[in-house]
Structure formats: C-alpha cells, structure tokens
Structure 1
Amino acid sequence: MNQDPVAIKQVEVEIIDHAFREGWVVPQVPSIKTGKRVAIIGSGPAGLAVAQQLTRAGHDVVVLERADRIGGLLRYGIPEFKMEKVHLDRRLEQMRGEGTEFRTNADVGGSIDIEVLRASHDVIVLACGATERRDLNVPGRELKGIHQAMEYLPIANKVQEGDATTYDIDAKGKNVVIIGGGDTGADCLGTALRQGAKQVIQLEIMPRPSDSRSSGNPWPQFAFVYKVTSAHEEGGERMYSVNTERFIDDGNGNVRALLLHEVEMVNGKFEKKEGSDLEIPADLVFLAMGFTGPEKGSWLEQLGVAFDERGNVVRNDNYESTVPGVFVAGDMGRGQSLIVWAIAEGRACAAGVDLALMGETSLPAPIPPTARPLV
C-alpha cells in the first residue's frame, strides 16, 4: 500500500467526546485495595497512564509533579490551540475519583529526599520525560533574545490557563526565527503568530520532503512526506537545507540577525554549499532542536540507576531499572518520542509493577520497552 490510510481520528474523538458529555465515562474505583504503595515521579502522559492503571488495580498511588499543575508535557509543552486542556482536566477528574493522589510543587531531590521516598513506598516509577534540551553552540549564542522552545511554550500555556497575565517572552511585532523543523518548532510558530509576530521563519537542516511517499517508504512505515500543520496553515515561512553559522549582535547584546548557509549531504554528512551565505533578521530566536535525554539530577545518581549510551535510563523487559523496585516509563527510558508511545509504555510499565508487587497481573502490556515504530 502506497496511499494514505483511512482517517479515523475524528470518529474516535467524536465517540469519546460524546461519552464524556453523556456522563458515560466515570471513575473505575477498585473494589479491593492491596495495601501496596507506589510513587510516580512525573505527571506527563507516561506517568498518568501508569497511575491510572495501578490505581484501578487497587494500589495506593501518588503522582509527584515539580510544576504547579499536573500534566507535564500535556499541560505546559503543547499549546492550547493544538490540545485543549479540557481533555486533560476531565481525565484528571476521573483519576481523582478513582483514588489517585496528586501532589504539585513536589521537587524530588529538593524538598523531597529520594531515599525517604523509596523507604516509604513499595515501588518508585520514574516518568520524568526527556527534558535535557539540545543546544546550538555557535558564536553569538549568549545574546539576549535567544531562548529554548521550552522556555517559551510553558509561559504561553500559563497565560491561557490564567496562571499568568503577561508573556515573559513576547513575539509581538518581532522578527521570529525558529531553529528546528519538528512539532515543537511548529508549536512555537503558531504561538508566535498568535502573539502578533511581524515575521516567523522556521529553519530545518534536512531537505524538503517530497509531496508523496517514495517507493522505498511504503505504508505502514512512517510517511516521510511534506506536511502542513494547522500552525503552518496560519502563516510563517519554512526554509530547508540551511544551517545556522552564527548569531549577529545589534551592538547592545541583543540578537539582530542570523547568518545561515545552505547545506548538502556528502558521504552521509552535511557540507556547506560555498557561496550560499544568507543573513535573515531576528529579534527573537527559539531553539527547537529536540531533547538529548532525561535531566541528570543528583537524585538520580543517588538512586543509582544505570544509563545507556544515549543517556536514557536502562530498564529490563518489565520496565524495571537496574535498581530493584524502581521502574521507568516513557521518554526517560525510550528517549524523545511521541505521546502515544508514552501512554503505551505507561500502561505496559503498570503491568510490570503490578506483577512485581502481586506475583501476577491482569493488566495489559501493549508494548515491550524495545518496541519501535516501523521505519
């Protein structure tokens, strides 16, 4: 098959929205309690998936979140125009009704000692995501006006939530450049347009994808084709096969422009095209180049978990780390990925935890930790 699959997303969305409207989605309170205590560090998609499954299995579950609201990436990393937070909040309401406990401003390694947490719980689940940001170390990086995408998007979400009244980083009237051609970059683009940016340009080092699948990229592999997101439909410009050489100073310590050059692939490496230098104006720059793995806090070292060659936490087939009783779900073990993978991993990790606690489990395990998309 070499054509697009039938789109069923809207059908599925309408079904679940209708179910919530009609009150058919209700808390599934466990009939039996096991007395086992589980602490989940991180309230993103993986952590929430683990929590709901284990709560329903009868365990006492607490979710610890260092931010001031529950949701992690779902709350602060995805703009409201892309995912309305009502979808998250209604699920959290259901989970609270089932008995899951949530604690915000819970800083593990800070106000919460990891060893005390371990001693007071039968199992710890690490679901902190891959939040170590990839940076761009080129001349001028220190200039004002250059920010990581995840310094920008959470602020916009807080304004939408009513938790803030003004944007600490505001694109209004500015020339905005986004370095990185992925979903996070598109989220920055849509947010900047909504703030009234004068111009928005998104840069991508890879060449522009073709408009249709190639013969070597058949279904069901991920489609490497040119895509226009809802944010791109609203405006902005995309530039492909370009690399940032340096940031240019306005003379007062602020970024004024970017010096770019075109690149081409030579023997598997990007090489500069001579004579292709280009300067583009920039008052505000967002780095959206992905993440390199989980943050390596001192509490992780204290915990004693092992890391693989990519910097992710090592786990076995049941999602248990090298430290007995400490499990890992989502991007913290997989590396930067998609929400659907995080949810699937969370549910599978819950099965591993339940098995370890009870000696048996009836919880589903959708995927093993080694599962990867078809490419």
Structure 2
Amino acid sequence: MKPVYVLGRTRGALSHLVTQELASLPEQPSVPRIVYLLRSDRELRSFLNHDSTLTIRDYSLSRAVDVSQVQLMSACAPPQYDSGELAHIESMMCSFKKPRDVTELQRYKGCFTKESSLLLLDGDKSFSDSLRKLVWRDKFTRPQLYQCLSDIRTWSSTNFESGVVGDGSLRVAKIPRDLKDLDSYEYDLGANLSQEGELIDMLSRTRRLNTTFMKYTDFVHVQYEHMIVKTAIGAYTALFDCTNGELLKMKHTPTLLKNLINECLKVIATADPAAFRAPNSRVVLDSDRILDVAVTMMKMMNKESTLLRRQVALWNNTELTNTTGYFTYHARQHKVHCLHLNMIHKILEAKTSLASLRYQKVSYDDTF
C-alpha cells in the first residue's frame, strides 16, 4: 500500500472525516499509511502538539457521542528520497478555503505525474476550474482529477477536531482531461473502479461516507444546481440580513430568486456550453425546477441562514467570491449581460467593506 497524502486544514471538517475513514480501513497498519500535509511549520508544530491526532465526534446517536481518533504521519513539505529528489505522490486529497488557494499545490507539482490521482474535497466547480487554470494548464501532464460533492453534515469545533451528525453521502466523479471531449462526460466511474487508482478503491470501501460514483455529466449538473441555489438564496439572505424562512415569506421572493437563477443559467450556457449538451440537461438545468429546489431547501432549513450572510457580516468575502463572484466573473469574461447579478454582487461587496469600517478587522470564519 502506497501512502495517501492529505493536504488538509487545521479546521477542515470534511477532510478530517474522510481522512479518518481511510485510516480506519482494515488493511491499514497501526500507524496508517496516510501523511497529513500542513501549510506551514507553525501548523505542523500545532499538529504535533496535538499528538498528531485528528478527532471526530459523531452525534448521530441520541444518547451518546461516539469519539474516534486517529494518529497520523505529518509533514509541511513535499516528500523526498534520501538523495534529495522529490518523491512520487500517487494519491492525494486536498481541501481549500477558497478557489485561489489551489496554488498551494504548486510546491507539490513536481511530485505528480499524469498517472497520479488528485481528489478535490471542495465541491464547487470554481475549485476545479482554478486548479486547471492556475496550477495545471497542460492537460497532458495534469494528474487525474476527481471531485466530490458531500451532503454529510460536518463542522469544525477546534483545530484538528470536528463533528458529524446524521447520514449523508459522498458523490465522486472523474473530471475529464479535456472538457471539450463530450464522450468522456459519459464515463461511468462506478462501473470501472478496478481501472482507477488505489485512492478511489479505498473510498469505495469506507463505512461512514456512503460513497457513490457518478458520470461527470450528472455530477456537473448537480454541481451547477448547488452553486445556483446557494448563490440565489445566499445573495438575498446576505442582502436583507435574514433567515431562509424570513426570505421565503417576503414579498416578491420567487421573482427575485428567478431573476438570479435565469442569469446564472445564461452564464453557464455561454461559459460552459458542454453542460447543456447532455440529453437531460434542459430538464435538469431548468429555471423553474431549480426555483422549486431553492424553495424546498428554504422550507426545510427555514430557521437557518446561509454561510454567505454570516461571512458578509464579518467582512469575509470567501463565499461572496465563490457565489455571485463566480458568475459575475464568467459573465465579464464572456460578455454576458447580468444586471441583477452584477448589482447584487457590488452591493454585497460594499456591505463587506462597511463591516470592515465598523469593526476595523478581517474575520476569516473557518468553522462551517
């Protein structure tokens, strides 16, 4: 068994859970063949002072909390042979705070070949887009990319300690090397697990993750739906500083949401036309259907609010960049007129600057 490298975070709940699940597989030795990579010497010292241990508290049981811990090897630099030559990385998982942070992979780039496997634990398309644009523009030398979508409810409590509750699943797809090759969109990852690397095989055998494998064409549709819904709901909850339930009861909410949904779909159709070429794309990426999904979500989580609202109030523009910012960027790049998206994005940028003027500080909320 070759080691799996995890470019993790001190507070990265999903990466902690997936790492622990891989470390719990029966074939793992007492010290799992997993190397937890930290961003700096300071983070590495913090991990070592934490006994090199990740802790997961599972609150799914009604009367007891199931606490599990795993001790891992760790480093804060690319692996090397005794000769000083960079060692080969066959498998890596990574998680980032914001899309531009994928440039942290530059220092490990020399360890990868095109046969390596790299799994992005961040589900938004902006992360895979940024990785292809900022780190591996050459599709022929790029490692094989995979990405996952998770509906497992996780959160970080303190450094290297996270919580999880309820059931959920991890949906994984293989990202085509060439996004213009429509045949590769239909590649059935689940039917070809034996042809994939060791990391994908390990994910298929974990207990807690309920991993399913998707064709990329289905994956990208779910991915866009998720981004559109959180952009539309997040933008207005942040703008009006309200909960999902309050937004649902306001006047004109369906019209307001529909305006943003239509503009997001217009951007996707221009920037990524391949997403609309699948046989069922016009059904899945339909504005009325996505509006129904958004309304259903607000009803189910009516007492909660959005990450975008919380971050805007704390002058943290991470989620803003990854929602309205993602679509307005591609609208500019492809000259798509999006009146509502552009206006709301500018208002929310102004609102974050107002929070800055009031509190005179930057807050990077990394607990959700």
Q: TM-score, normalised by structure 2?
A: 0.26
Point out the structure with the larger helix share. 2
CA radius of gyration, larger in: 1
Point out the structure with the larger strand share. 1
Higher relative contact order (CA 8 A, sep 6+): 1
Q: TM-score, normalised by structure 1?
A: 0.26
